[in-house]
Each structure stands twice: as C-alpha cells, then as structure tokens.
Structure 1
Amino acid sequence: MNALRLLKHDHRIVEALFKQFEKAGEKAYKEKKEIVRWIVKELSIHAAIEEELLYPVARARDEGLKKDVLEALEEHHVVKWTLKELEGMSAEDERFDAKVTVLIENIRHHVKEEEGDLFPKLEKLMGKAELEALGEALEQAKKTVPTHPHPKSPDSPPGNLVAGVLAKILDAGRDAARSGGRRAMKTLGRATGRTKTRASPAKKRARRAATAR
C-alpha cells in the first residue's frame, strides 16, 4: 500500500475511536477505558513507525523538511506523555475525560498539519514506486514496534531502533501479564507476528468507520 494512504488510514481509525469516546456516556467508565486502551495502542504504533521510517526518509529526501520533522517529533513527545498518564488513570478520575479531550485536540491538529503540509510535500518528492516500498516497510514495522508509549526513549535513528526493540519486548511481556493464561500466549504470539489480534468491539467499529470513508 502507498505509504501516505496507509498513514491516512491509521488517522481515520484513530479519529473513529475519538468519536466513539466523545459519544460515550459521562459514566460509561468501562467503555471509555477500553476505547482509550485502543487509542493508546494505535497511536503508539503509528508514532513509532513514523519516527523509525517516515521522518528519516523525509529528511533524507529534502533537508528542507527538517523543521516539519522536528515539530512533528515534539508533538509526538507531548502526546506520548499524555498517553503514558492515561494508561495509569482510572476512567473515573475527574481529570480523565479532560486529558483525553486535550489529547484528541492535539492529535487532530497534528493530523491536519501532516495531511495538509508534510504529506503533499512527500508526494511531490517521492515517486509511486518509492511510496509503495515505504508503505510495505511501514506495514512490516507495525509488527515490531512498541505497543505502549515510551516518552523517555529516543525518537530518532539510530537510538530509537535499538530502544524500540527493547520496548517491544517489554510491551509483549506487559500485554502477556495483562491477558493471563492462554490469552498470554496469544499476546506473545502477536508480538512476534505469529498470530492475529482479536479486536475489541470498539476497534472493530473504528475499522469499519475508517474503511467506509
């Protein structure tokens, strides 16, 4: 798949999750926590593949994109800290909804800048074959990058490549502990790309919404 199309599809999935959260009832704590769990995972993976591949490629093709990339990295940094805080919060915390709202506003701003500025620039700089090859690399990278936020880890090569591998191992163990028993084995299998993840109802609805666009 074309790299920019793949990343835009990721954006649509996350936006669908945002809308689900916004429609959830004020006291739908369990539902909102589950939606946020998927938001955290989707954004963690998306940020990681952009940092490992998209942004380095952008700077390699045109150093004039340095400013765009550095701003994007700073936006990612802020988002990761918010995701980290949300992971440790109860949905009943009085600041939970407010924190998610700020996260949504930041991501929508980030997406608007990427799709309105950076992506069109890359489309002009890169040929169809290059974008297809990058898209394949991004898709493969999704299997090996962290599934949780690691705001203290490096976000640029080569540091993020090494840190990303270690973070992925830690995340796999963390997901396994959360699942328990047979579900733990499935989680570890997913970490190595050997099994498929069973999406929650929230994730399935988000995928359908993104595909329908």
Structure 2
Amino acid sequence: MGHGGNVIQELTTDHREVEELFGRIEALPPGAKERKILADQATMELIRHSVAEESYLYPAVREHLTGGDALADKEIEDHAKAEQMMKDLESLEADDPQFDTLMGQLMREIRMHVDDEEQNLFPKLAATCPPDALMDLGDKVRRAKKTAPTRPHPSAPDEPPANKLLAPGAGLVDRMRDMFSGRGKGA
C-alpha cells in the first residue's frame, strides 16, 4: 500500500499489485470461494488507490497539464464507473453467475484505465511537474491511502475538498467493518 518514491512510482506499483490479484482471480476456476476473497482484496486496494488519486493526483493534473481539467474529469469518470461495479460485486458470492461477468468487466475497465494512465497521463505529468512536487505528491498519496475507505462509496464526493474531509471517517468505519468481518485477510 505504501511503497516509496514519487507519485508516479507509487501509483504504478499499486497498478502492478492489483494486476497480480487479477491474475490470481483468473487462475482460479469459476465459482471458487477464493475468487471472492481476492476480489475483496482487489476492491480494497483499488478504492484506497482511487481516493488517493482523486485527492492529490488529479488536482496536480489540473494544475500542471494543458487540458488538465478534461483529463482529470475523464479519470474521475472512469473511477466512478469502476466504483459502481465494485459496489455491485460486493453483494455477490463467487458462485453467483453474475460474479464472473461483473468481475470480467471490472478487470477490463481497470486495465484500460491503468494503460491510459501509464501511457498518457503519467508521462505528461512527469514532463511538466517538477521532481520535488512529484515526490511531495508521492508522500501525500501514501498518507491518503492509510486513512482512505476500503469499500466502494459511489455516492461519496470524488473531488477536493469534500473527499479529503469525508474519506478518513469513511475509511475508519470501513476498516472497523473489515476487522469484524475478516474481509481482506487474504486467500
């Protein structure tokens, strides 16, 4: 969850971790109970990652990139679509026929989003944002992930300042729910 380095290195490492979870899900047979456990872990990571991006990365995109508002808006829209899928997945068990369909859609959506960020957004940001600002953003993203929610909240605000104010409280409640339910303990 916290890896070190600048914001691009931090978020790229998150992307690799989620892809590893997706690969483990795909390697299991349909209906396997472990698929749900891994899907919950992926959701937890994706939600923390998304909250951190929305709190710090996208405001930096708006500030440092020409056309940054449109780029950030598109990324936030991608997040909203994925978050709704994760919310829908939350109530499904691995043996539900809808689980595999929805999980497949989520994985495709996330992979397209990751590819777009890594091929387009990150290089543009690296070219225009000072290195010390990228390091500072990396620190802020790491701190945000520590207190971010772990469950999808599609109706929650996704832009500063409201998201920065509400995320820690939702994160605390989510982590308590996770602790009591055992969610995210691994497969």
Q: Above 0.5 in TM-score?
A: yes
Q: How does 1:159-174 map to 2 (within 5 A)?
A: 159-174=162-177
Q: How does 1:2-151 map to 2 (within 5 A)?
A: 2-28=6-32, 30-62=33-65, 64-151=67-154
Structure 2: 5+ residue runs without aligned partners? none
What TM-score does the superposition give when structure 2 sets the normalisation length? 0.92
C-alpha deviation, 1:63, in angstroms:
5.2
CA deviations on 1:145-183 (whole Å, 9 max, x unpaired) are 11111110000011111221221122123123314xxxx
Query: Is 1:200–2:186 an aligned residue pair?
Result: yes
Distance 1:119 1:2 in 2: 11
CA deviations on 1:55-102 (whole Å, 9 max, x unpaired) are 011112235211111011011001111111111111111110010000
Structure 1: 5+ residue runs without aligned partners? 180-186, 188-197, 202-213
Distance 2:26 2:143 in 1: 31
Q: After TM superposition, where is structure 1 displaced by more than 3 Å over at least 4 residues in a row? A: none
C-alpha deviation, 1:128, in angstroms:
1.8
Distance 1:125 1:146 in 2: 30
Percent of residue pairs bearing the same amino acid type: 36
- Tell whether the 8 Å contact from 2:8 to 2:138 is kept in structure 1 after alignment: yes
Aligned letter for 2:7? A
The answer to which of 7-16 and 60-69 deviates more is: 60-69
- Tell whether the 8 Å contact from 2:31 to 2:96 is kept in structure 1 after alignment: no
The answer to which of 74-83 and 165-174 deviates more is: 165-174
In structure 2, the residue matched to 1:194 is none
Give me the CA root mean square deviation. Answer: 1.6
Distance 2:78 2:87 in 1: 14
